[in-house]
Structures are given as structure tokens and as C-alpha cells.
Amino acid sequence: MGRSPRPEGKIVSLTRVSRGDAQMIKAMLDEHGIPGTTGGGDANGWYPNLSFSDGCPVLVFEDDLDRARHLLESAPELAADDER
């Protein structure tokens, strides 16, 4: 593993978007060295209709949140509807 673990790191929500957009955002975060994950907003694909109402969360460590937000702002086509 290239990074040391962050056992005390708080995980926060960056945004909630469709499952497809969440995967694209995660890939963009990975490309820029920001660890993140997507939540189970649609029960990991079992109930895709749930992501239409609540969206799929993209989660990052709190100390990476500002960098992740800045990166997301550079790709407005991936921002959640309420963030556009």
C-alpha cells in the first residue's frame, strides 16, 4: 500500500449523484491521488431505483474534502443537480 492508513480519519460525503457518475468521480479522484469510495446508494446495484431518489454517495476523508470539491468543480457535468 502506497499510503499509510488513517485510523482517525473522518469519512464525509462529497456529493450524491447517479451510480454511473459516482464511478466516474471516483476514477477522477483516484487519478489525482485522492482516496475515495462510492456508497451503496442503490444497494450495490440491487435496487437501482433508490439512486434516482437519493443518489449514490461519493465519500472521501475529511482532510481531502476541499481538494476533492475543487476537483469536482472543475468537472461541472459530474456535479449533483443541487450543486449545479
Task: Please report the domains of the chain, with CATH numbers, ordered by start residue.
Answer: 11-79 (3.30.70.1530)
Best CA proximity match to 17, nearest among 4, 9, 26, 5: 26
Q: What is the C-alpha to C-alpha distance for residues 79 and 84, in angstroms, rounded to an integer?
A: 6
Q: Give, in degrees to the nearest 5, the angle at Cα 48 between 79 and 41.
A: 55
Reported as a single tens digit per residue, the pLDDT across 7-27 is 778 999 999 888 888 899 999
Predicted structure pTM score? 0.74
Amino acid 19: pLDDT = 81
Angle (CA) 34 36 40, round 5°: 165
Whether 15 contacts 80, CB under 8 Å? yes
